[in-house]
Chains A and B, each alone.
Chain A
Amino acid sequence: MNLNGKKVTLHDMSLRDGMHAKRHQISLDEMVSISTAMDEAGMPLIEVTHGDGLGGRSLNYGFPAHSDEEYLRAVVPKMKNARISALLLPGIGTVDHLKMAKDCGVSTIRVATHCTEADVSEQHIGMASKMEMDTVGFLMMAHMVSPEKILEQAKLMVGYGANCIYATDSAGYMLPDDVTAHIGLLRAELPSNIEIGFHGHHNLGMGIANSLAAIEAGASRIDGSVAGLGAGAGNTPLEVFCAVLDRMGVETGVDLYKIMDVAEDLVVPMMDQPIRVDRNALTLGYAGVYSSFLLFAERAEKKYGISARDILVELGRRGTVGGQEDMIEDLALTMAKEKGLI
């Protein structure tokens, strides 16, 4: 694979996707110290929000330690070069949250929908684009549909005003050839001024390989997280990815040693549990299940005595999509009743 001379924009997820792994309990001090250190290391774009995006504060997904606004007002003024992004899932957050984020100094808004439901994003993409924000359409669970379907949905988002489209492997299910097909078709068919991005999860250990395939197929923005801190087995570990890109001659503008230090000295010590491809995280990738379901399934296992793996496999079989965390306890209760446990 020859990527020599290519340029990519890396986008850190540790303070947003990482919120899932931290049960949304990252402190303001941690947010500020990690984002500042990443800024210092040359990370161009950093996402800061509740794990489920703006307005994600809920019993369903978890009450965060602080509101989105508190996190953003703490982090944004401290940035020297890095820009801050925020995620928004229509159906959870609204344009009111979007306006708040803009007011806090967020420069990039990423509007996320399930990969077949892009038409719920018209209000939000339209508003962000009108406010002249860097506006990203983020198509989740991309493994569930064909590249042609992703392209159809991407075109809707571009029509609403998005200037960048992501194929998002929320379940960490995709293999490099899948990524090549999805990203390749988007790059071939969308106008050249529309950037293409890829967001991976490491549930099958494919974070790095998939991200490289994405760059080769034409993606210019790649998500990852320092030390891999993210849902499931985490995102593409950025310090590892930086080293690989450095050896392949890809320009990122990120200082390798500095980002290695952020990972080792700041992010790893903050982890509540090791972020690795353990049995349940592997199940997410194998069964094609939304990565943030991991801790919920593990809690249901403890509470009802049903194996997290069985719960996750059944959720995958049912075609459960992002945001359906409520179905985890529901399913565990139903399975426990069937087994005569309750």
Chain B
Amino acid sequence: MNKKLKAVIIGPGNIGTDLLMKMQRSEWIEPVWMVGIDPESEGLKRAAEMGIKTCSTGVDGVLENIIADDVRVAFDATSAYVHAENSRKLNELGVIMVDLTPAAVGPFCVPPVNLTDHARNLEMNVNMVTCGGQATIPMIAAVSRVQPVAYGEIVATVSSRSVGPGTRQNIDEFTRTTAGAVEKVGGAKEGKAIIIINPAEPPLMMRDTIHCLTEGEPDQTAITESIHAMVKDVQKYVPGYTLVNGPIFDGNKVSCYMQVEGLGDFLPKYAGNLDIMTAAALRTAEMFAEEAADGTITLPARG
């Protein structure tokens, strides 16, 4: 029996295409459909050339094929505005939704921190937070699992070329959502997020800085060990995730300086911010597939 879960990708843009390329290497997820809204879109043409079925009439156009093609998981790389409806329609058919938009209908998912819990609970909609969140929250969690974090702050610096119009039009959503997830997933009592867009050419790699204020004096040995272990966990799905400097201890402050280099599938290597989103989303679906294959969870029944 084929253990792979079949998938639909909604949104044939840069993110959707990068996701498709990563998915074609996956042992657990098999891309079947790419859904868009413009029959002329480059992304749909690319997907067709890569041997994927395409649908240019939105999610409604693919619904009748979901059961027939045994699609079990969906990736939404469209926008927060349409996500809730996409999710509702697909959840009704028993499809697990991995949300790469900032809609945050379902709980935040940062794979090395809380993916196992979401998979075991068979959450039907998980949200991938933001690129800055994926790159930094593991580090906040690495500190907070050692000792309480009173305040967690992240600074994400991304190249201008890697920031699309959606993020630009609603940059507050990035800061709010990321700060919220620094608290909810990272475990900091208060969270703060900053995003800086840098137009330098050639484009710079994504850089992320994480500061935590611990309650009480930081346990330097335990925190350092925890951070290095967490970096290794993230590297399993984003090999270019690197601790450039740190952890640096200054009083109760713990600081880490990260760089995120992408795999360069469809998106250039400097766009580690986009790569870490697609890689984390795929890792999320793979975990559901692994848990289903070994019988830990049971996917929604189908006739």
Q: Which residues of A contact B (CB under 8 A)?
A: 57-60, 90-92, 94-96, 114, 116-117, 119-120, 122-124, 318-321, 323-324, 326-327, 329-330, 333-334, 337
> Known contacts being A95-B172, A117-B199, A123-B170, is A330 close to B194, with CB within 8 Å?
no
Cα-based distance from A297 to B200 in the complex (angstroms): 21
Contacts of A58 in B (CB 8 A): 153, 192, 194
From B198, B204, B257, A326 is in contact (CB under 8 Å) with: B257
Q: Is B157 within 8 A of A120, CB to CB?
A: no
Closest to A123 in B: B172
CB pair B195–A91 under 8 Å, yes or no, is: yes
Residue of B nearest to A122 (CB): B169
- The minimal Cβ–Cβ distance linking B183 to chain A, given in whole angstroms, is 15
Q: Closest 7 A-B residue pairs measured CB to CB?
A: A319-B200, A326-B209, A94-B172, A333-B245, A59-B211, A330-B257, A91-B195
Within 8 A of A (CB), among B220-277: 244-246, 248, 253, 255, 257
Please, which residues of chain A bring their CB within 8 A of the CB of B174?
91
Q: How far in angstroms is the closest Cβ of chain B from A41? A: 36
Residue contact A123 to B160, C-beta cutoff 8 Å: no
Contact with A along B32-69 (1 / 0, CB 8 A): 00000000000000000000000000000000000000
Q: Is the interface of B mostly helix, strand, loop or mixed?
A: strand
Residues of B in contact, count (CB < 8 Å):
35
B213, CB-defined interface residue at 8 Å: yes
Contact among A124, A321, A334 with B196 in the assembled complex (CB-CB below 8 Å): A321
Among A94, A95, A120, A326, which residue has its beta carbon within 8 angstroms of that of B155?
A326
Chain B residue at smallest Cβ distance from A61:
B194
Binding site for A on B (CB under 8 A): 151, 153, 155, 157, 160, 165, 168-172, 174-176, 192, 194-201, 204, 207, 209, 211, 213, 244-246, 248, 253, 255, 257
Summarize A's interface: helix, strand, loop or mixed: mixed
Contact for B257 among A95, A116, A323, A333, CB less than 8 A: A333
Rounded to whole Å, the gap between the CB of B151 and the closest CB of chain A is 8
- Pairwise interchain contact B153-A59, C-beta atoms closer than 8 A: yes
A-B contact pairs, 20 of them (CB 8 A): A58-B153, A60-B153, A60-B194, A90-B171, A91-B194, A92-B194, A94-B176, A117-B199, A119-B169, A319-B198, A320-B198, A324-B157, A324-B196, A327-B207, A329-B255, A330-B209, A330-B245, A330-B257, A333-B257, A334-B245
A116 to B197 alpha-carbon distance, docked (Å): 10
A330 and B199 contact, Cβ closer than 8 Å, known pairs A59-B213, A123-B172: no
A333: which B residues are within 8 A, CB to CB? 245-246, 248, 257
User: Which residues of the other chain, A, contact B200 by a CB distance below 8 angstroms?
Assistant: 318-319, 321
Give the complex CA separation of A60 and B136 in angstroms. 15
